[in-house]
C-alpha cells in the first residue's frame, strides 16, 4: 500500500523538478519545501530545495544544463 | 613536472646565496627574502611549497611570522605551507615552542647541507602525503553521498511503480471510464518516476564531476616517490658539504 502522504510528496517533487528545470527556482523551492514539510525524511526534496536556495542567491549561467556544480574549496 | 617552490627567509645574505645555488641545482625554484616582512610578501605573491625560515631576524622574527601564518585568519590560505625553522640556539624550549606553533622541522645552525636536504625531502614528502589523505577522504565522502542518493532516490522510484501495479490489478478493462482513469494514473505515476530519475541523474553527474576533479589531483604512492627521487638523486653527491 502506498500512503497518501508519500503520493503527495512525489507529486510535489515532480512539480518542483519541472519548475527547477525551467529555472523558476523560487516557485520550485516552494514545492520542495511543501514536500519535505509533509515528509521530513524526504531527502531528494531537501537536496533540491537546497539547490534552489543556492541558485536564488547565485543565478546559474545561461548555459546551465540543470546540473548542480558542487562548490568545492 | 612542476618545480617545487622553496622560499628561504634569512637576514644573512651568505645563507641565501648558498641555498639559492644548491637548491636551484637540485631542480627547485628558489625564492628569497631578507626579513620576515619581505617573506610575508613573497608568500602572498608566490605561495611557496615550503618555507625555510631563520628564527632570529630584524623586524618580523621567524616566530612572529610563523604565528601569523598559522593563527591569523588573514593568512588562512597559507596555513598549510610546511615550515622548516633554523636556529643558532639549541634550546629545547625553543624547539618545543616551534613545533607547538606548527612548524614541521627545526634545524640547528651550523648545519650540514646533506642533512638539511634530507629534512627538506622528509617535510615535503610528509606534506604531500597528508594532502593525498585529504583528497582521498574527499573522494570517500563523494562515494558516500552517491550511495545515499541511490538509496533515497530509489524510494521515489518504487512507489509510483507499485502504484501502477496495484491499480492494474483491480482494473476492469471492459469499463471505458476505468480504463481512462487508469491511463491518467499511469501518466501521473510515470511523470513522478521520470522526475525521480532526472533528479538522480543530476545528482550522479554532479558527484562524478566533483569526483573527477578530486581524482585529477590524486597521485599514487609510486608517483609520489618518483617526484621526490627527481629532486634528491644528487643528495649523495653532496654528502659532506656544509655551511
Question: Quick one: B38 and B104 in the same domain?
Answer: yes
pLDDT band at A2 (very low <50, low <70, confident <90, very high): low
Interface of A with B (CB under 8 A): 1-2, 6-7, 10-11, 13-14, 17-18, 21, 42-44, 47-48, 66-70, 72
CA dist., res. B202 & res. B70, Å (int): 39
Whether B122 is covered by a domain: the verdict is no
Whether B232 is covered by a domain: the verdict is no
Q: Do B195 and A17 touch (CB under 8 A)?
A: yes
Ordered per-residue pLDDT tens for chain B, 243 residues: 578 899 999 998 998 999 999 999 888 999 999 988 999 999 999 999 999 999 888 788 888 999 999 999 989 889 999 999 988 877 788 888 889 999 999 998 888 888 899 999 999 999 988 888 888 888 888 888 888 888 888 888 888 888 888 888 888 889 999 899 899 888 888 888 888 888 888 888 888 888 887 887 777 777 777 777 766 665 555 554 444
What is the chain A residue with the closest CA to B159? A2
Predicted pLDDT of residue B213? 79
What ipTM does this complex have? 0.78
Predicted pLDDT of residue B166? 86
Closest to B202 (Cβ–Cβ): which among A2, A14, A68?
Answer: A68
A56–chain B nearest CA distance, Å: 18
Whether B185 is covered by a domain: the verdict is yes
Question: Quick one: B33 and B102 in the same domain?
Answer: yes
For chain B, the domain total comes to: 2
CA dist., res. B177 & res. B105, Å (int): 82
Q: Do B206 and A13 touch (CB under 8 A)?
A: no
Predicted pLDDT of residue B109? 84
HSE at residue B228, side-chain half, CA atoms within 13 A, is 19
Question: Quick one: B105 and B157 in the same domain?
Answer: no
Question: Quick one: B201 and B107 in the same domain?
Answer: no
Question: Quick one: B147 and B74 in the same domain?
Answer: no
Whether B196 is covered by a domain: the verdict is yes
Question: Quick one: B104 and B137 in the same domain?
Answer: no
CA dist., res. B10 & res. B89, Å (int): 15
Three-class secondary structure of residue A60 per DSSP: coil
Question: Quick one: B45 and B141 in the same domain?
Answer: no
CA dist., res. B88 & res. B107, Å (int): 9
Angle between the B62-71 and B92-101 helix axes, to the nearest 10 degrees?
30
Whether B126 is covered by a domain: the verdict is no
Whether B142 is covered by a domain: the verdict is yes
Whether B242 is covered by a domain: the verdict is no
CATH for B24? 3.40.50.2300
Whether B77 is covered by a domain: the verdict is yes
Interface of B with A (CB under 8 A): 138, 148-149, 152-153, 156, 159-160, 162-163, 166, 188, 191-192, 194-196, 198-199, 202-203, 205-207, 209-210, 213-214
Contacting residues of A for B210, CB less than 8 Å apart: 70, 72
Question: Quick one: B77 and B174 in the same domain?
Answer: no
Predicted pLDDT of residue B1? 53
Q: Percentage of residues in chain A with pLDDT exceeding 90?
A: 52
Question: Quick one: B94 and B149 in the same domain?
Answer: no
Containing structural domain, residue B96? 5-111
Question: Quick one: B143 and B189 in the same domain?
Answer: yes
Predicted pLDDT of residue A1? 44
Predicted pLDDT of residue A71? 54
Cell 518542483, located at residue: A16
Report pLDDT digits (tens) over A13-47. Answer: 999 999 998 899 999 999 999 999 999 988 899 99
Q: Do B159 and A6 touch (CB under 8 A)?
A: yes
Contacting residues of A for B195, CB less than 8 Å apart: 10, 13-14, 17-18
Q: Concatenated DSSP letters for A3-52?
A: -HHHHHHHHHHHHHHHHHHTT-HHHHHHHHHHHHHH-TT-HHHHHHHHHH
CA dist., res. B73 & res. B40, Å (int): 14
Among B192, B201, B211, the strongest candidate for a mutation testing the A interface, having the largest count of A CBs within 10 A, is: B192
CA dist., res. B136 & res. A68, Å (int): 22
Q: Concatenated DSSP letters for chain B?
A: -PPPEEEEE-S-HHHHHHHHHHHHHTTPEEEEESSHHHHHHHHHHH--SEEEEESS-SSS-HHHHHHHHHH-GGGGGGTTS-EEEEES---HHHHHHHHHHT-SEEEESS-BHHHHHHHHHHHHHHHHHHHHHHHHHHHHHHHHHHHHHHHHHHHHHHHHHHHHHHHHHT--TT-HHHHHHHHHHHHHHHHHHHHHHHHHHHHHHHHHHHHHHHHHH---HHHHHHHHHHHHTTTGGGTT-B-
Question: Quick one: B103 and B137 in the same domain?
Answer: no
Predicted pLDDT of residue A33? 95
Predicted pLDDT of residue B232? 67
Predicted pLDDT of residue B46? 94
In order of A47, B127, B135, B147, B217, the CA distances from B224 in angstroms are 37, 11, 14, 30, 12
Question: Quick one: B141 and B103 in the same domain?
Answer: no
Contacting residues of A for B206, CB less than 8 Å apart: 67-70
Predicted pLDDT of residue B234? 56
Amino acid at each position: 500500500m502506498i500512503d497518501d502522504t508519500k503520493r503527495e510528496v512525489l507529486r510535489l517533487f515532480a512539480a518542483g523538478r519541472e519548475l527547477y528545470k525551467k529555472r523558476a527556482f523560487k516557485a520550485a523551492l516552494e514545492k520542495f519545501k511543501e514536500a519535505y514539510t509533509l515528509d521530513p525524511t524526504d531527502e531528494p526534496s531537501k537536496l533540491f530545495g537546497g539547490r534552489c536556495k543556492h541558485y536564488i542567491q547565485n543565478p546559474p549561467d545561461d548555459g546551465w544544463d540543470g546540473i548542480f556544480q558542487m562548490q568545492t574549496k | 613536472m612542476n618545480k617545487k617552490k622553496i622560499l628561504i627567509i634569512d637576514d644573512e645574505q651568505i645563507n641565501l646565496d648558498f641555498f639559492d645555488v644548491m637548491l636551484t641545482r637540485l631542480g627547485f625554484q628558489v625564492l628569497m627574502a631578507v626579513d620576515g616582512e619581505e617573506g610575508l610578501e613573497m608568500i602572498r605573491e608566490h605561495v611557496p611549497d615550503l618555507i625555510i625560515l631563520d628564527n632570529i631576524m630584524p623586524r618580523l622574527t621567524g616566530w612572529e611570522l610563523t604565528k601569523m601564518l598559522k593563527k591569523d585568519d588573514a593568512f588562512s590560505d597559507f596555513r598549510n605551507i610546511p615550515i622548516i625553522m633554523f636556529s643558532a640556539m639549541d634550546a629545547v624550549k625553543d624547539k618545543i615552542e616551534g613545533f607547538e606553533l606548527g612548524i614541521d622541522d627545526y634545524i640547528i645552525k651550523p648545519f650540514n647541507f646533506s642533512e638539511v636536504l634530507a629534512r627538506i625531502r622528509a617535510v615535503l614528502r610528509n606534506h604531500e602525503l597528508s594532502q593525498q589523505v585529504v583528497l582521498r577522504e574527499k573522494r570517500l565522502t563523494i562515494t558516500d553521498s552517491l550511495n545515499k542518493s541511490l538509496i533515497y532516490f530509489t524510494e521515489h522510484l518504487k512507489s509510483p511503480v507499485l502504484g501502477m501495479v496495484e491499480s492494474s490489478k483491480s482494473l476492469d478493462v471492459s469499463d471505458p471510464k476505468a480504463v481512462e482513469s487508469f491511463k491518467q494514473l499511469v501518466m501521473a505515476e510515470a511523470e513522478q518516476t521520470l522526475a525521480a530519475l532526472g533528479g538522480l541523474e543530476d545528482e550522479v553527474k554532479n558527484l562524478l564531476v566533483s569526483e573527477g576533479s578530486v581524482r585529477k589531483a590524486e597521485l599514487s604512492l609510486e608517483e609520489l616517490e618518483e617526484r621526490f627521487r627527481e629532486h634528491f638523486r644528487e643528495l649523495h653527491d653532496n654528502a659532506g658539504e656544509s655551511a
